[in-house]
Structure 1
Amino acid sequence: MDKKKLNAKDFINIGIFTVIYFVMFFITGMLGYIPIFAVIIPLVLGILGGIPFMLFLTKTGKFGAATIMGTLVSVLCFLMGQSWISIPFGIVFGFLADLIFKAGEYKSWKHTVLGYCVFTEWVIGSMLPMWIMRDTFFEAYRSKGGTDEYINAVMGLTANWMLPVVIVLGLVGGVIGAYLGKAILKKHFVKAGIV
């Protein structure tokens, strides 16, 4: 059997860690009821998701795992009522992360950090409607019971110049989350030979 190809155990791990990572996304989304948190979701998710994602990497460490996780988590995001835009973002950024992990042969810490930072950017897809479909997005939010006070606060925090800032926040969150995950899961990293 080819040890570099995903097997049944890997698919089980992908499923388990996708659920755990999605719980982190859900918690981050709940914080979004505070206006500022609606904008810094990539930073918070990058940090919170770092621990399960780093453990996920040590358990799988094969090409395709991040792509599958990115696809699954973005589909779950869509099923929870987010925009469909999150799906192509989940697939693309999951695949790019896979390419980076593979370039480091799943042993390079530098590639691990960079790959996770890139993976974290999938969440921008779920937020993009706040900028590119602004009126539709906030009108839909209002129809679901969103208050004018909250909507005005979020609209004030999502000026066009804020989108690049949010993208950078995702990268910062990814770095913090990767180091936090490594610190907590040091034993697993030694075992997986990631240096």
Structure 2
Amino acid sequence: MKKLKIKDVIMIALLSALYMVFYMLSMVIIAPLGPFGHSISCGICALLTGSIFFFISRKIGKFGQFMLMQAICMVLFSIMGAGYLPWLVTSMVGALIADFIASKDNNQHVFKVALASGIFHVGQAWGAIIPSWFFLDSYREEWISRGQTPEAMDEMIKYTSGAMGVVSTVIVFALSVAGVYLGYAILRKHLEKKDIAMA
């Protein structure tokens, strides 16, 4: 299994920074949807950044690429004051699974890359959903102590707990898969040197 080189790390860092720009854009796009939009924001980001995810899989194609990308994003979020241990854990687990699915080489089938993106971004979404399911009170108190109003937290929890957590998960996964196929459609003429079947 090939290891990441310095040039790979630099490329992933640059693309992760670009990914974060689109993440911030997605937050603006979903703002009118309120707390529900926030609960699926990583799916909207994934839809916008499917080409970045696909590009990484084609240009690097080494195990650890998605974990490094996710780690960089988590560090940047922490710098902005949004760091949260359960979010870090679910995000990194999602990225690890994504690497197992689609980081064996740089010619993975587009379906595998799309599936990896789905898991990667569900990992991000579960940073709010898992706490809402399993340790709601401490989750609520944590973010209120950070400055969120009780009313805002209750609205957010409404869309990440119970059945709505499942709905949000499905939406994030679907948007993430769609984003990679959109990215594939945009980039394949520029990147593909070998024929690969459309899924």
User: Under TM normalisation by the shorter chain, which class is it?
Assistant: 0.7 to 0.9
Once structures 1 and 2 are overlaid, which stretch shifts more, 103-112 or 78-87? 103-112
Who is 2:185 aligned against? 183
Q: Once the two structures are superposed, what CA deviation does each residue of 1:10-31 show, in whole Å capped at 9, x if it has no partner?
A: 1111111111112222333453
Distance 1:36 1:91, change over 3 A: closer
Corresponding position of 2:166: 164
- Counterpart of 2:7 (choices 6, 9, 14) is 9
RMSD of equivalent CA atoms: 2.8
Partner deviation per Cα, 1:101-137 (whole Å, 9 max, x = no partner): 1457633222222122122222124324344443444
Q: Which residue of 1 aligns with 2:70?
A: 70
Residue in structure 2 matched with residue 25 of structure 1 by the alignment: 23
Output the CA distance in 2 between the equivalents of 1:192 and 1:82.
41
Unaligned runs of 5+ in 1: none
Instruction: Label 1:38 to 1:19 Cα distance change in 2 as closer, same or farther (>3 A).
Output: same
Does the 8 A contact of 1:131 with 1:160 survive in 2? yes
* Cα distance, 1:140–1:64 mapped onto 2, change above 3 Å: closer
1:92 is matched with 93
Partners of 2:57 and 2:72 lie apart in 1 by 16
Separation in 2, partners of 1:105, 1:184: 17
The normalised TM-score by structure 1 is 0.81
- With over 3 angstroms needed to count, the CA separation of the structure-2 counterparts of 1:192 and 1:132, relative to structure 1, is farther
Task: Provide the residue aligned with 1:45 in structure 2.
Answer: 45
Secondary structure, counterpart of 1:161 in structure 2: helix
What is the aligned-residue identity percentage?
27
Structure 2 vs 1, CA of residues 6 and 149 (structure 1 numbering), >3 Å: closer, same or farther? closer
Q: Displacement, 1:142?
A: 4.7
In the TM superposition, what whole-angstrom CA distance separates every residue of 1:88-108 from its partner, at most 9, and x where no partner exists?
223222121111114576332
| Greater displacement, 128-137 / 61-70 | 128-137
- SS of the equivalent of 1:185 reads helix
One-letter code of the match for 2:160? T
Give the SS at the match of 2:13. Answer: helix
* Cα separation, partners in 2 of 1:156 and 1:95, compared to 1, 3 Å: closer
- Number of residue pairs matched? 193
Does the 8 Å CA contact 1:21/1:52 hold for their aligned counterparts?
yes
Equivalent pair of 1:96/1:115 in contact (CA under 8 Å) = yes
1:112/1:134 CA distance change after superposition, 3 Å: same
Please tell me the residue identity of whatever aligns with 1:95.
L
Tell me if structure 1 keeps the 8 A contact 2:74–2:88: yes
